[in-house]
């Protein structure tokens, strides 16, 4: 356990979760599931006692390597255990809702991968289940945990940029479709393409930095130009071979009007003709200063610039930042929230708001018009 001392817990369950090792299960053995697993293994007083995933060899290997006693192919079998306090859900996105809701209904806290769900409606059902069960639901927005984001957030909170009136966020890849023909490119399983996959991270980063302004409306366009021609695939993995046609967008752009008069431009692509690589970042334009996080190929150093005036001359500050801990920080916060006992405030509302905005973007692109974001977002 890390340093946060838990507040007084309100229920017997919370008290037991504070005093005993937390018993956790991880569902999904891909990149995301293994990142969560490592996060739990790094924490004292947390026991990973169950794993689930369809890859029998990987399941056995991970179980052996980390002495995890209970291994399942089917997530339903893992959730039947009544000795688990919490689960991580790191499966293809169409399974987030059924698994998370079943876990919450059986009294388990849930750390769910991003995007929380394929749609705002599904995300709402998961949040409702968390509220009803009085359990923590946390969505894994690991890029928010970067060191450059932490430094910029402190700078913003100190008012150094003044009022930020315009922001841009992007995640653009040259050749980065995560598995052509896999669940990622299947609309039913993924809910969408790079907008819901990568864009949700950048939407989260931008809205978090901006202090969570309400998004009033969106105007978006989506394109599907390379994927359907078999271009733009990444080496990342063949994934689960579902033999899907390319059914989602490969580039999306959206203009978001924010409460208070500000605007956010969001641009995201898995594959497009641009310089090689995999780049993301945000740019903020304020009344007293500006800032830019520019991450090329997952760089963790020298990624933040602050723009200001020094003695009347334009100046650029390059803060030295720590790399940040990504999934490890998210998992630690999740465990701290469970131990903290104040569960009702942590029911995945940020994940829901992101899902509602993304819904509005897809509707806007489909109908070719500006769309109001539903009131809850």
Q: Which residues bind ligand NAD (CB under 6 A)?
A: 27-33, 52-55, 74-75, 90-93, 95, 113-114, 140, 142, 197, 239-240
Looking at the Cβ atoms of 47 and 113, the one nearer to ligand NAD is 113
Residue nearest to ligand NAD (CB): 30
353: phi then psi, degrees, rounded to nearest 5: -60, -40
* Shortest CB 308 distance to ligand NAD, Å: 32
Task: Specify the residue, 17 or 359, whose C-beta has the smaller distance to ligand NAD.
Answer: 359
Q: How far is the CB of 132 from ligand NAD (least distance, A)?
A: 23
**Dihedral sign computed on CA atoms, order 78, 80, 83, 87:** positive
Distance CA 174, CA 234 (A): 9
Closer residue to ligand NAD (CB): 87 or 216: 87
Reduced to 3 states (helix: H, G, I; strand: E, B; else coil), residue 209 is: helix
CB of 78 to ligand NAD, least distance (A): 8
C-beta of 125 vs 372, nearer to ligand NAD = 125
Q: At closest approach, how far in Å is the CB of 56 from ligand NAD?
A: 10
Tell the smallest beta-carbon distance from residue 235 to ligand NAD (Å).
14
Task: For 40-94, give the DSSP string.
Answer: HHTSTTEEEEEEE-S-HHHHHHHHHHTT--EEESSHHHHHT-SS-SEEEE-S-GG
**Nearest residue (CB) to ligand NAD, 214 versus 239:** 239
As to burial, measured by CB atoms within 10 angstroms (0-12 exposed, 13-18 middle, 19+ buried), residue 369 is exposed
Q: How far is the CB of 118 from ligand NAD (least distance, A)?
A: 10
Q: What is the DSSP letter of 363?
A: H
Edge to edge, the sheet with strand 278-286 lists 313-317, 304-310, 290-296, 278-286, 164-173, 263-269, 251-258, 215-223, 371-372
Q: What is the DSSP letter of 28?
A: -
Closer to ligand NAD at the Cβ: 117 or 306?
A: 117
Distance of CA 263 to CAs 217, 239, 283, Å? 10, 37, 12
């Amino acid at each position: 356990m890390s340093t946060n001392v838990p507040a007084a817990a309100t229920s017997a369950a919370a008290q037991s979760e504070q005093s005993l090792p937390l018993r956790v299960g991880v569902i999904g053995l891909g990149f995301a599931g293994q990142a969560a697993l490592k996060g739990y293994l790094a924490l004292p007083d947390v026991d990973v006692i169950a794993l689930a995933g369809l890859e029998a060899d990987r399941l056995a290997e991970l179980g052996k390597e980390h002495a995890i006693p209970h291994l399942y192919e089917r997530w339903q079998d893992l959730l039947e255990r009544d000795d688990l306090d919490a689960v991580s859900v790191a499966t293809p996105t169409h399974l987030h809702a059924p698994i998370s809701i079943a876990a919450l209904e059986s009294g388990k806290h849930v750390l769910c991968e991003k995007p929380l769900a394929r749609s705002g409606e599904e995300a709402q059902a998961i949040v409702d289940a968390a509220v009803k069960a009085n359990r923590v639901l946390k969505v894994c927005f690991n890029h928010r945990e970067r060191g450059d984001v932490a430094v910029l957030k402190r700078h913003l909170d100190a008012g150094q940029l003044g009022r930020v009136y315009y922001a841009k966020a992007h995640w653009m890849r040259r050749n980065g479709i995560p598995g052509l023909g896999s669940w990622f490119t299947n609309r039913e399983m993924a809910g969408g393409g790079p907008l819901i996959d990568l864009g949700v991270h950048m939407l989260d980063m931008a809205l978090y930095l901006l202090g969570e302004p309400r998004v009033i409306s969106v105007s978006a366009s989506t394109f599907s130009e390379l994927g359907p021609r078999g271009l733009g695939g990444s080496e990342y993995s063949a994934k689960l071979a579902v033999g899907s046609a390319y059914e989602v967008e490969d580039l999306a752009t959206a203009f978001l009007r924010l409460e208070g008069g500000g605007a956010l431009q969001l641009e995201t692509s898995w594959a497009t003709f641009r310089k090689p690589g995999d780049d993301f970042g945000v740019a903020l334009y304020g009344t007293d200063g500006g800032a830019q996080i520019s991450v090329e190929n997952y760089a963790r150093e020298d990624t933040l610039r602050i723009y200001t005036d020094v003695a009347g001359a334009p100046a650029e500050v390059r803060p030295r930042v720590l790399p940040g801990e990504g999934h490890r920080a998210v998992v630690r916060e999740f465990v701290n929230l469970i131990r903290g006992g104040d569960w009702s405030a942590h029911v995945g509302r940020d994940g829901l708001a992101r899902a509602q905005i993304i819904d509005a973007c897809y509707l806007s692109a489909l109908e070719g018009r500006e769309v109001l974001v539903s009131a809850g977002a």
